[in-house]
Amino acid sequence: MTADAPATLVWIAPGPPDAAESRAIASWARAHELELQPPKGERPQAIAMEPGVAYEVEDLLDRARDATAAREGAAIDHATRAAEDLLRAHPELPQAAWLMAEVERARSTRWRRIDPADTEAAEREWVRAEALDGGRMPGLGETSAASHPPDAEVTLVLPDQDEARLDGNDVPASGVSATRAGLHALVVTADGIPVWAGWIEVQAGRSSLMIDAPGTAPCSITDAARAELAGDVLRGQRVRCARWVAVARGPAPGALRIATCEGPRCGPLLVWRDAAPWTGPPPPSPRPDASRARHWPGWATWVVAGAGVAVAAGIAVAASGALQPAPTETRFVSGGLKNQ
């Protein structure tokens, strides 16, 4: 990782870093000559859910059943067409596939019980309903189809390894779903947020579909949230950011575990501790100067000076006669005799 562009800081820990941890992050960045920036605020636009649509569809299904009992074919067609239009416009509903299956069964019953009858159409509609919800037992006044939808295995190619739900069921991580040939409701989610929804036709046997759903913006908050730490193992396989730094709390207060990453590939988590400003190394001892060894040391001058003062003082005392031995002879002075 070079220092020619900023790297995204991905903090992997509950709660924001405290003051000591923030200083440690800053010191690590200075030591590695790297500029760090927070994840971008871009998020995929979520599809707005309209739960009221489901109630409208159920009301239209009730009307279709009442019209079937009254043998009013035009009213059945009107109600089922309106219900299908609503569901086609809102495949993001969790119960969209189940409701569409009931619309198909209402039509199947209509073609069996209301003139002009169409057995082939009744069989086709019931089979399409079974492909959507897996099938159910026929109710009062209903007749199931003699055949069943063929098996199918569809591989869904999703952007950025996003997740998806097919007919309300989670699509495996491999993207391969075992289902039945026919109409299906697909919802693509980015980190749990529905970002794309549509109706797809799955062919019998094995097939593959490329889904043009909006992807997660690289180095965004949503992209960074895909990084996770399991014990000592850093998992960033789904992160799309080209340059990012994973930071987690370390084994001691103020210590951090930091790894540099490029896309899904990360280096090892290494412990980093920020040294306090007063705990730096002691200053180096002065190196001896060879030129000074040839000069008279300063302390010797004071010793000699002290000795000279003592000698001078001794000479002065000696000159004064203070150190001469006391005389023992008798001296004659004016005023009497004195012994000294």
**pLDDT one-digit tens code per residue, 112-145:** 999 989 999 999 999 999 999 999 999 989 999 9
CB 174 within 8 A of CB 151: no
If we measure between CA atoms, which residue out of 4, 69, 31 comes closest to residue 275?
A: 31
**13 CB contacts (<8 Å, ≥6 apart)?**
247, 248, 249
For residues 171 and 193, membership in a common domain is answered with yes
Res 271 pLDDT > 60: yes
For residues 233 and 161, membership in a common domain is answered with no
CA distances (Å), origin 86, targets 50, 103, 218: 11, 11, 35
Residue 212: predicted pLDDT: 85
Domain contains 294 = no
Which residue matches tokens 């189940």?
Answer: 98
For residues 26 and 138, membership in a common domain is answered with no
pTM above 0.85, yes or no: no
CA distances (Å), origin 200, targets 51, 298, 317, 340: 22, 99, 126, 143
Q: Give Dmax over CA atoms of the chain in angstroms.
A: 180
Domain contains 310 = no
Residue 49: predicted pLDDT: 86
* 300 band by pLDDT with thresholds 50, 70 and 90: very low
For residues 39 and 58, membership in a common domain is answered with no
Domain contains 321 = no
For residues 237 and 267, membership in a common domain is answered with yes
* 222 band by pLDDT with thresholds 50, 70 and 90: confident
Lowest mean pLDDT among 81-85, 158-162, 164-168, 228-232: 158-162
Domain contains 327 = no
**What gap in Å lies between CA 150 and CA 127, rounded to an integer?**
9
3-state SS class at 273: strand
Q: Rounded mean pLDDT of 288-292?
A: 47
* 44 band by pLDDT with thresholds 50, 70 and 90: confident
Side chain identity at residue 59, one-letter code: D
User: Which one of 210, 227, 253 terminates a domain?
Assistant: 210
For residues 16 and 124, membership in a common domain is answered with no
For residues 254 and 197, membership in a common domain is answered with no
48-51, Cβ contacts within 8 angstroms, sequence gap of 24 or more? 49/92, 49/93, 49/194, 50/90, 50/93, 51/93
* 213 band by pLDDT with thresholds 50, 70 and 90: confident
Average model confidence (pLDDT) across the chain: 83
**186 CB contacts (<8 Å, ≥6 apart)?**
91, 156, 164, 165, 166, 197, 198, 199, 200, 211
Residue 264's φ and ψ, nearest 5 degrees, are: -80, -5
- CA-based torsion, 113, 114, 120, 125: positive or negative: negative
For residues 250 and 105, membership in a common domain is answered with no
Domain contains 23 = yes
Q: Rounded mean pLDDT of 316-327?
A: 42
Domain that holds residue 115: 52-210
Domain contains 103 = yes
* 188 band by pLDDT with thresholds 50, 70 and 90: very high
User: Which one of 275, 291, 312 terminates a domain?
Assistant: 275
* 38 band by pLDDT with thresholds 50, 70 and 90: very high
For residues 185 and 262, membership in a common domain is answered with no
For residues 121 and 205, membership in a common domain is answered with yes
Helices 52-69 & 96-113 angle (0-180, nearest 10): 10
User: Which one of 173, 188, 210 terminates a domain?
Assistant: 210
Res 19 pLDDT > 80: yes
Res 276 pLDDT > 80: no
Residue 240: predicted pLDDT: 87
Residue 192: predicted pLDDT: 77
Domains: count for the chain: 2
Domain contains 284 = no
Above pLDDT 90, what percent of the chain?
61
Domain contains 333 = no
Q: 58-81 pLDDT, tens per residue? A: 999 999 999 999 999 999 999 999
